[in-house]
Each structure stands twice: as structure tokens, then as C-alpha cells.
Amino acid sequence: MQRVRRFTRFRLQPAVYRETRPVEIAMWQVGGEPVPFAEAASRTFHPFAVGTAWGRPWDTVWFEVRGDVPAEWPAGEAELVVDLGFTGEQPGFQAEATAYRLDGSIVKAIEPFNAWVPLPEPGPFRLLLEAAANPMIQVPYEYEPTPLGDAATAGDAPIYRLVRLELARRDPVVWELLQDVVTLDGLVDVLPRDGARRARIVDALERMVDAMDPHDVRGTAAVGREALADVLAAPAASSALRVRAVGHAHIDCAWLWPTRETVRKVARTFANVLDLIERDPGFVFAASSAQQYAWLQQSQPQLFERVRAAVAAGRIHPVGGMWVESDTNMPGGEALVRQFVMGKRFFLEEFGVESDEVWLPDSFGYSAALPQIAKAAGARYFVTQKPSWNETNRIPYSTFQWEGIDGSRLFTHLPPADTYNSDLGAPDLARTERTFSEKGRAREVLGLFGWGDGGGGPTREMLAQAARKRDLEGSPRVELSDPHAFFVAAEAELPDPPVWVGEMYLELHRGTLVSQQKTKRGNRHSEALLRQAELWAATATILRGTPYPAEALRDAWRTALLQQFHDILPGSSIAWVHQDAEAAYERVAARLGELIEEALTALAGDGAGDPAAPSAANAGPLPVRGVPAMGIGVPTPPSVAVPRAHGDGFVLEDAGLRVEIDSRGVLTSIRDLVAGREVLPRGMSGAVLQLLRDTPREWDAWDINEEDQRSGRELLDPVDVRIDGDAVVVRHEFGESALALQVRLVDGRVDLAFDVDWHETQKLLKVAFPLDVRAERAASEIQFGHLHRPIHRNTSWDAARFETVAHRWIHVGEPGWGVAIANDVVYGHDVRTLEGPTGRPMAVARLSLLRAPLYPDPGADQGRHTFTVSLRPGGIPEAIEDGYRQSLPLRPARGGTVEPLVAVSDPAVVVEAVKLAEDGGGDLVVRLYEAHGDRSSVSLTTSIDWESVVAADLLERAIDSEAISAVSARRVELALHPFEILTLRFRAPRAAVKENP
């Protein structure tokens, strides 16, 4: 095999192009952001030579290429061959280009391993190449800080050198022989070393080398193919798996490049795909993310129309049905709903298709709420690959039913190749057979092939692999297919699949719950503003007749949904991406603020209200200080305890709680005066700040490693502790950072307001609360409900969950009593049971506030951050109440009271959204869910008349539902299962509703 491989490398590969001709090259450097083709084509180009350096980081250079295809070259053999200075690493992470004809139409992309452009019939040609000088930020397993992720620090020196740009004639026989050899050589490495099949392949490859003349490879290539024909014709075993190979390119909407570059990556990838569609009648491509299709429609309308035609022909399949491949841990429930609403509506409106699968190969764990949300959006199937990255435990199934918190199930497949970037090579297919858990009774598996992450998609070499492995001994059978065909076949052969219950927790990338807190704050704040804007706009439209700002709301949603992409919201992107995200959140906040004020002004009417008792708008689903849920009223004053000195510390006390703070700035007692219980274990302190080491083994911004938490210190030496008005203020200085903590006792809860000027590196800041609670599990809020997780370490699965996601609250309790901890913008938590100072078990809950990773953004999280955390004894209902108070505080309003459009009789049922229908017909849409995890029967009443009410799916289409038990005037009786989501559509609350774009 050494002889075969040397022959392949030094004889066969160089002979693929039988002759070359020079071309004329000229260039124009943009010197800034990308420009459209028309602008570039109008510029003056200057001569340029191969071997010359080009491309400042993130800049674009347009190359003009002129040449002449010789008349004697056969049709289809002439190609432009390009090497922009490729590093040999994976496509999508370095320089790439787009080839244009003079009319502005795109031919295809130029990327590593796909660096050729087909040329027309013999004669002169002229092309323009848009070359992107994207810097190579990902150097595998180095994770070193780099200035390249920010245009302001990336530098001006060229980072590439044009290595090759010439006209070449490809020899089709030599190329086919090379694909034969690659196929068989791959099998040699995965077959048993002492097996007959491997021996026969090695013998055939030897005979191929013997039969060929190394000095006349082209003249003897056909003889070489004949020597391999028999081993390539040997059929696969009858028990071989069937790999349904689907062309794919998982394109990150942003990561080590900004979204503006993703727009071009999408165009390049689709151009490559359309070229392959013309060459291979069996090739099918699946692409997710409506946002990426929308970008293509805006930036390259001609290419988009070609994609539209390919979708109609069944060659391109829009999949997933989401706006982007979002994170599923941190987006709120309504945001995940809108991912499907916006994505599916785009696919229906633009292509007339509706996908029935959820397509999330690369998100960092999967919420247990997702099955119900997906099913309510019309999905039946789920695809991901990411759980194969688990550090400790492996999900024991490849094909299974995934059951969510409400009992909904999705037929789920984890492609056993453990990659969404397969090249259909022998190693990927052997891994597929080795790791497919159900291979004893099933053989259908999904294979996703094509360069992804940075895009590029499948190549002709991958299709050559598929063709040769359609029925090849020693390999699974490979069949070009589409996702739906796979799922239909997989369901048929596995009618009683195993079941996985609950979240699919990723035992890796736990730091993404903490990194880039400004991006996370923008997400939480945007979700709250979107709820308010829709609620008050719908209320103003129905009660006052003001136009409903439907398009402005859609634009805001789409902007917020884009930022939830699984490398933006998790904080794992370069600085440029997060700067863009923060700017986008500011724009969204400003626009939504305007919409909210316009709606509240309309609702106020001519009434000025009582200046002595100003009104407030409560957008939350629960009453707050006398203001009804989702209504406007005059709030009662908050109950605020005034702190007083006590020994060497301070005390705050009201009718329900007594809180003591000592000179170290920590809580030494939280006494529940009603229950007569102490929250903190004897001798333990609460609200203790912990500064921990944070030096991940790899994947800096992504990972938190448990061993780092053995190294650190508690901040117990404040520079000042004093009373300031109604708060006790604690000030710390550490390293180059400063922190101020304000402790208040308000309305029966302890409120902790943190203001941090953060300038640490590779540190993790947590706040810890030891709790005198005997518990084996803790509850964490997720979308439309909550999840119970063990807090012991009985199993390796329990031990691996040392950092977990929660939204607005966590709860740790024992029968009859517990503690609720809520927050305004924290996602990372850990709760564990430890031995307390008296030898009895206690629970310790910690919230992760800040990190300071160095890669890929060396300035991550530097600067000022604020957090609010609240604690009070109570149950899950109190936790839910405190969580909504944090995210949806009362908003000042003018005028008198406004009765809410809808109200429910039991706080166990929470109204999550009130809006007008997406189709513009004026119907009122109300989405609610059962929040306590119990069966709940409630009455929903409205303050308005309506003609009829129906249950609806997330796309607001009528469905059958057992949840509606009775209907009467202005009242609907509901019976909900635990955590059930229900969408109600009330027909025509007004005769006509105007929409204002």
C-alpha cells in the first residue's frame, strides 16, 4: 500500500489535468465592506500576477480573468483551476471566492477541495472572481487569542498569496481512476487486516500500478481502471446498512465570521449545489434556516430563482422549518415558537412546501420542551448529531422516540457517522456501521455529506464516492436520497423504537450558558419587549382601533431570532459577531419601545389619570401589586424594609422574612418568619461571591471544566459595607475589577442587585446559596414549564450535569417547603447536594454570572454588567411569579385603568402571548400553557366579544383539541394536561382590523 499511495500521490493526482494554459489576471481591491457585482464590474482593474500577495483580513479582492479555450479541447474538459493560497484545512474557514459571468450570474464557488470553475465551449472567456480574504481563525486544538476576529484589530497586511490561476484540461479517465483508487484505498484502512476482501483489494491496487506506465499515466489510465473493475463490482452483503445520503452544508449564520460574510457563503454554497444538480440527476440537497434563503433572495435574486426552481423539482429540500438553527437551551418558549412560525411561513410562502422534521445537527444540547413545540408546529421528526460529542456518556440509541416534558414525542435520528460534514469516505461509513445502535433490527441510517460550518457543500468527488458505494462489498450501501424518504423508511422498519425521556443534555460546551453576557442580556430583554409590544399593540387595536404594526413586529422578531443562532446567543463567536448582535438588540429595543409607547398612548385616550396615583402597565401573566395581569391599573406601593445596624452588620425585616448581613458582605441568616425556618444551614453564609479559575482544556468560550472549580476563592473582604437608603451596599475590588451589591427586602423577597465592572481573564464569577433543604432534585424553568434534575451524583449521567440551564428561576425544596431563586438575565446554574456543617445533607445553589474566555474573542465580557437575583421561601408558583416580575416589571402608563383582553382563573395556567393573527385577518391569538406540572381546569374569560374560538397549531391553523371543554359568552373552559401548550384563535374580535407596516 505504500507503493500504491506513492503512485497515487506523485503520478495519478498530478495527471488529472493533462495540460494547462496561462490566463490574463487583473484585480481591484474593495478596501472595505463587500460591494455588489455591478459596482465591482464598473471599476478599473490593474494587472496582477500569480505569486503576488493579496487580501487584507476581511477585505475583498475582485480578480478579472481572461483566457481562450483551445478549439481542440473536448467539450466539458476545460476548467479554470484556482488556488487562492489555501492552507489545506477544511473549506469555509479561509479564503474563498465566487465566479461570475459578465452578466452578473454566478457560475459556482471556489474553495479548498473544490477549486475549479467550468468553462464554456472553445473560444475566449472572461470571468470575475469575488475573492474573500477571510482570515483563518480556527487553528485546530490551539485556541490561542487572536486579534483577527475584530476588523478594528485585524491589521492591514495581506494574508494570502495567489498560488495558482490557470486554464486547464481535465482528463475524465484519469479523474475517474483516481476516484476508484480513493474508494478502494479507504476500504483498505477499515476492513479487517486478515480478511479476504481487504487482501483482494490490495492485490487489485497492486495490479493497477503494475499495469500502468508511470511515465504515461493518461495513456494507461483505462488499463488501470480495468484492473480494479472486479473488486469495484463485488456487491455488498445482504445485511449491509443502507445509508440514505443527503447532500448538506451546515452553514453557521455567524461564528468565526460575521453575518455579512454568511450571506456570501450561502450564495457560494447554493451555486455549488446547483452546478452538481445539473451534473448528477440523482443528487438531492437539504438546507435549513429560512433566514439563509431570505439572505439569498435579497443578495442574489437570480440565484434564488434557480433555487426556487430546484425546490419545485424536488432537488433542493428546505428542511427544519426554523428561522435559524437556533440554540434551544436559552431562547424563551415564545421565541422557539416563533423560530418555527417565521421559518415555516417563509417556506410556505416562497416555495409552497412545509417540512416535517426539525433539523438541528449542531446546537449545544436540546431542551425537553422542544418535542411539544415542534409537534405543535407540524413536525414529526428530529435530526441532530451533536450528542455524539458527549464527554462522558453516550445516548444509547441512534433511532428512537424523544419524549418531552408534556409527553409529546418526536421520531428522532442521530446519524451514526457522528458528523454532518461527511465525505462518504470509508472511515465515515465504517463508523456508521460500528455505532448504529439499532443495527440488529434496522438498517436505515441517514448520512449527511458536504462541507459545512463555513459552507461549501458537497463536491463531485463525494458524489463519485456515493456512486461507487451504491452496492460495494465491505461498505454499507449508499443511496442518494432525501430526509423525508429516510424517515418514512426508518419508521416502517422500526415500528416500536426505544424512548429517550427528557432533555438531551450535551456533556460539553457548558460555558455557552455564561459567555458574552451582553448578548444574553439583549436576548432576554428583546423577548420581554416583544411580548409587551404585541400585547399592547393588540389591545390598542382591538379597544381603540389603532393600526396593528404587524410588519414592524415581524422585523423585530426576525432580528431577535437571528441572534439566537447557536453560535451567537451561546457566546462562542468572534468579537465582530457580538458587536453586531449588541447593535441589533439596541435597534430592536428602540423600535419596540416606540411601538409600546404608541400603543399605551392610544390606550390612555384623553384621560390624564390621577397625578397622585399614576397608573402602570403590567404585561406579565400574573397580577403585580394590584395591577391585573396584562392590564393597566394603579399599583399599590411596594413593601420595602428599611435596613438597620445590628452588631457589626445589618438586618432587614418585614412580616415574612428577617435577613442578616455581616461585615463580610454576605447573608448570615434568612429567617422565614411564617414557617419558622432558617433558609441557610447553621454556620453557612448566602450570596457568597466565588471567583474561580476558568482555563478550559479546549474550546475556551464554549467549555467549563469541573476541575477548574477546585481552584478559586471567595470574596469575603469587601472595601465597604454600609446602608444606602433602603439597601445595604457591599463593595468589592479584586484584580482589575470592582463589584457593588445592593441588598434589599422588597415584597417579601430578598433582592440582590449586582453591578460589576469586569476586567478579569479566564475567571468564572459565581454567587452561591447554601440551603437548609433536604432534596434529591431541583426544578429549573425551561420553555413552557420546568425540568427536575437530580442534584446527587449517583451515576455518571448525574455527575456530568455539573452546569445546567435555567431560565428565570430555579427551585429547591422538600415536601411543604422550599426556596425559589429568580434572576433577570442568568442562564448558567449548578445545584448539588453536599454534607452540611452538622453532618446532614444540604443543597448548594450557584448562579454563574460572568466568564472571561480568550478565544475566539480575547475581549469577551470585559466591561460593565448588571444582574438582579431574588430569593424567597416558597414553592414553584412563587418561583414562577418572581421570574416574571424580573423579566416583565411594571411600566409607567398614563390615563386610567384598562381591563385586560383575557384573564385566567388559575395562576397554574400562564398566558405566554397575546397578539393578532399572522395572516392579518384580525383574529385574536392567545397562547397559554400549564406551568405547575399538574392537570389544570381553568376558565379563560375575555373583556371583548368574539364570534367563535378554535384551538390552533403554532401556525394558527385550526386543529382538534380536547383541551376546550366548554364555550360560552366571553368564556372558555379549559382542561390542560401537565405542561400542555394551547393556542386559541378568537374569530373577529372587531369587524375590521387595520395593519400598519
Angstrom distance (rounded) from CA 967 to CA 974: 9
Angstrom distance (rounded) from CA 921 to CA 481: 40
Q: Is 171 part of the annotated catalytic residue set?
A: no
- Largest distance between two CA atoms of the chain: 100
Grid cell for residue 651: 438586618
Angstrom distance (rounded) from CA 955 to CA 960: 14
Angstrom distance (rounded) from CA 600 to CA 740: 35
Is the separation of the CB atoms in 789 and 774 below 8 Å?
no
Centroid of chain to Cα 454: 15
Is the separation of the CB atoms in 491 and 537 below 8 Å?
no
Nearest one of 502, 547, 580, 600 to 804, comparing CA atoms: 502
| Torsion from C-alpha of 148, 151, 157, 162, nearest 10 degrees | 80
Angstrom distance (rounded) from CA 63 to CA 69: 19
Cell 457589626 appears where? Answer: 648
- As a residue count, the chain comes to 997
Strand arrangement, sheet containing 749-758: 720-724, 727-734, 737-746, 749-758, 863-873, 817-823, 809-814, 777-782, 785-790
Query: Per-residue b/e over 319-333, b at no fewer than 16 CB within 10 Å?
Result: bbbbbbbbbbbbbbb
Angstrom distance (rounded) from CA 755 to CA 154: 32
Q: CA distances (Å), 962 to each of 907, 908, 972, 974, 976, in order?
A: 21, 18, 13, 9, 9
Is the separation of the CB atoms in 451 and 112 below 8 Å?
no
Cis bond before residue 415 (omega within 30° of 0): no
Grid cell for residue 319: 428542511
Angstrom distance (rounded) from CA 339 to CA 351: 18
Grid cell for residue 944: 371583548
Nearest one of 884, 881, 812, 871 to 657, comparing CA atoms: 871
Grid cell for residue 448: 449527511
Q: Which of 150, 252, 280, 362 is catalytic?
A: 362
Q: What angle do CA 766, 767, 769 make, to 5 degrees?
A: 135
Bridge partners of 453, per DSSP, are 251
Is the separation of the CB atoms in 804 and 780 below 8 Å?
yes
Is the separation of the CB atoms in 941 and 974 below 8 Å?
no
Q: Is 751 exposed, middle or buried (0-12, 13-18, 19+ CB in 10 A)?
A: buried
Is residue 359 classed as helix, strand or coil in its secondary structure? Answer: strand
Grid cell for residue 783: 420553555
Angstrom distance (rounded) from CA 573 to CA 150: 11
**Given the DSSP bridges, would you call strands 949-952 and 785-790 parallel, antiparallel or unpaired?**
unpaired
Is the separation of the CB atoms in 900 and 629 below 8 Å?
yes
Cell 422516540 appears where? Answer: 401
Is the separation of the CB atoms in 496 and 406 below 8 Å?
no
Is the separation of the CB atoms in 908 and 936 below 8 Å?
yes
Is the separation of the CB atoms in 177 and 225 below 8 Å?
yes
**Given the DSSP bridges, would you call strands 971-976 and 936-942 parallel, antiparallel or unpaired?**
antiparallel
Angstrom distance (rounded) from CA 894 to CA 608: 6
Residues noted as catalytic: 362
